[in-house]
Amino acid sequence: MKNYKFKITGKVQGVYYRANVQKKALSAGYSGYVKNKPDGSVEACVTCHSSKLEYFTNLLKQGSQYSKVDSVERQEIEELFKGDFEIR
């Protein structure tokens, strides 16, 4: 398992983006979190097998029906996430 941090930019705050990502991530069994950043972007972190990384990335790109994702940047990190996928 590896740990990843994502920065999502676009119209992603105030459009049910985090709630939608959390709902889909929980139903797929991911551990991590999603939160708003002061610059208008959203940060998402996850621990998952590399085989489930593409699905999670697509989940972030989809967002909600009201969001418009411009970019999803990914980096590998050391922090391990366990338990549920939460909104912070």
Predicted pLDDT of residue 55:
96
* Tokens of residue 69, six digits: 């994702």
| Helix H or strand E segment including 8 | strand 2-11
Residues of the domain holding 20: 2-80
Spatial CA neighbour of 85 closest among 37, 22, 39, 40: 22
CATH code, domain carrying 21: 3.30.70.100
Distance in angstroms (rounded) separating the CA atoms of residues 35 and 17: 10
Asked, for residue 57, whether it belongs to a domain, the answer is yes
Instruction: Judge whether 67 lies within some domain.
Output: yes
pLDDT band at residue 64 under the 50/70/90 scheme: very high
- With respect to residue 10, please indicate whether it lies within any of the assigned structural domains: yes
If one counts the domains in the chain, the total is 1
pLDDT one-digit tens code per residue, 1-34: 999 999 999 999 999 999 999 999 999 999 999 9
Asked if residue 32 lies in contact with residue 83, where contact means CB atoms within 8 angstroms, the answer is: no
Residue 80 in contact with residue 31, Cβ under 8 Å? no
Task: Give the active site residues.
Answer: 18, 36
